[in-house]
Structure 1
Amino acid sequence: MQKLILIILFAFIGLTPSNAQFGKLLDKAKDSKIVKKAKELTGDEGNLDISGGLKEALEKGIDEAVTSLSEKDGYLESPYKIMLPEEAKTVVDKLKFVPGFNNTEEKLIQKMNEAAEFAAKEATPIFVDAIKNMSFDDAKKILFGEEDAATRYLDNSARNSLYDAFLPVIQDALDQVNARSYWTTVVEKYNTLPFVKKVNPQLDDHVNDNALNGLFGLIEVKEKGIREDIDQRTSPLLKDVFGQLDNK
């Protein structure tokens, strides 16, 4: 049972900008607290197959999450598309009939989602840390928990660190796609209109929050799929582990 609990942890998650970088992170993860604890409990290092099993399970998550969201239009053409915050929507609605600003909303949405694509690549080391810090009790709860138990654990343990890591990337990315300068121009124009309350809504936090929501949303979909769909268990290791769960 201990072996199953360990392996299941890594089947639910996995985000990385490249398989090469991820391999290095996995090598570092071999000496993590949970791996050491599992060795103590099982007394059988070989059966744990940490190098192969961990990498195989995580790479499945990689293909579904980071590759999807970090590619061109990965957010924009997904269910996790980032829309304008409400205050910004008010601004662009007022400017629709001002020459030169009629397609402001479309431009801003495009730029915000491009920024989120850049940030998605930053998640890998933070999720690896979350795995390393997972206790054995956490593992048991995840294994036999709700269909989103792993996602909720990661959300609770990693979101703050992800937020801090994402924010400067989001800010730089917004600058790279000229979103912040364009937004400044839009707000300045809006504030010259008669009878409107002057505003200065910030895009950074809004894009950051929604970029993270998209990542966790896709992880949840992946987790549910592995739990429920035999066809998504694409290796003997995953089939063995989740086959046991089918009969719990």
Structure 2
Amino acid sequence: MRTKLTVALLGGLTLLTPSCDVLMTMSETMQTNMPLTEAEVSNGLKEALRVGITNAVTQTSQTDGYLNNSLIRIPFPPEAQKVKEALNNIGMNNLVKQFEESMNHAAENASAKATDIFVDAISKMTITDAMSILKGSDDAATQYLHRTTGSQLEAAFTPIVEDALKSVNVTQYWSDITTAYNQIPFVSPVNTDLTGYVTHSAIDGLFIMVANEEKEIRENPQARVNDILKRVFGSTEATRSSLSH
């Protein structure tokens, strides 16, 4: 009789006691609903940018990372479209293609060097900046990064891009292209600053990818790969949801 009573009590306790999964869910929910501290917001935004930058650089620095991505592929310089058209018209399509491919490969090479530059900029984000960014648009953190690092990134990227352009023969291709074009009768000579063009295009492309990553972290719980991201952006979701009702 005593054995049966013990079994019955244990069974009742089992039914009353939540499972480990339930307890973890309850704990996470309670933690998410707790007010965020300023330090958590700052750490969460910095971590979101680190994750976004890591993912963006990984994508853009791989072979054909720019070339095969329609969002960031670097086209023939717009101010030199007449050069492209003229060369295509005289059967030099292959030279144009090689130039465009090499230009994008230069951006891919430069992109691989970007992580440390971005991370240094992130470390300078203040708590006031972070609180404002958290309540901002889907790309508020990326806009902040663009606004505060634009000139520094350009200065740091320029020599990297210049070396990359040389390493994949873009400079030679451009020299061949402009030489061929400028020999066409009655055309105005063209001299485009390739280093500046590719530098700006490479940086803009990186920011496009970082903005996509930021939006994904804000909107998709599966993209929040660690506890601080779940805590900060989960709490933000809960706040926005309560305000909408």
Instruction: Tell me the TM-score normalised to structure 1 length.
Output: 0.77
Are 1:112 and 2:106 an aligned pair?
no
The CA deviation at 1:238 is: 2.1
8 Å CA contact 1:11, 1:61 repeated in 2: no
Going by fraction, where is helix more abundant, 1 or 2? Answer: 2
Q: Distance in 2 between matches of 1:228 and 1:131?
A: 21
The change in CA–CA distance for 1:61 and 1:192 in structure 2 (over 3 A counts) is closer
Q: Distance in 2 between matches of 1:2 and 1:201?
A: 47
Q: Deviations over 1:90-138 (max 9, x none)?
A: 1121112435x23232111101100001111222222222122222211
8 Å CA contact 1:5, 1:140 repeated in 2: yes
Residue 247 of structure 1 corresponds to 238
Q: Which structure: larger Rg? A: 2
Q: Distance in 1 between matches of 2:78 and 2:221?
A: 41
1:66 aligned to which of 57, 63, 71: 57
Q: Which amino acid aligns with 2:87?
A: L
The CA deviation at 1:226 is: 0.7
Are 1:84 and 2:76 an aligned pair?
yes
Q: Distance in 2 between matches of 1:243 and 1:97?
A: 56
Q: Distance in 2 between matches of 1:86 and 1:128?
A: 32
Residue 5 of structure 1 corresponds to 41
Q: Distance in 2 between matches of 1:134 and 1:239?
A: 20
Number of residues of Structure 1 aligned to a counterpart in Structure 2: 202
Q: Which amino acid aligns with 2:208?
A: G
- SS at structure 1 position matched to 2:93: coil
1:124 aligned to which of 110, 115, 129: 115
The CA deviation at 1:89 is: 2.0
Q: Which amino acid aligns with 2:115?
A: T
Structure 2, gaps ≥5 residues long: 1-36, 240-245
Instruction: Tell me the TM-score normalised to structure 2 length.
Output: 0.78
The CA deviation at 1:235 is: 2.7
Are 1:75 and 2:111 an aligned pair?
no
1:198 aligned to which of 186, 189, 192: 189
Q: Deviations over 1:207-233 (max 9, x none)?
A: 111100111001100111111111211
Residue 33 of structure 1 corresponds to none
2:90 aligned to which of 98, 122, 132: 98
Q: Which has the higher contact order (CA 8 A, sep 6+)?
A: 2
Structure 1, gaps ≥5 residues long: 15-57
- SS at structure 1 position matched to 2:49: coil
Q: Distance in 1 between matches of 2:141 and 2:188?
A: 44
Tell me the percent identity: 39
Q: Counterparts in 2 of 1:1-248, with a 5 A limit?
A: 1-14=37-50, 58=51, 61-62=53-54, 64-78=55-69, 79-98=71-90, 101-248=92-239
Q: Distance in 2 between matches of 1:122 and 1:111?
A: 18
Q: Distance in 2 between matches of 1:219 and 1:66?
A: 9
The CA deviation at 1:245 is: 0.8
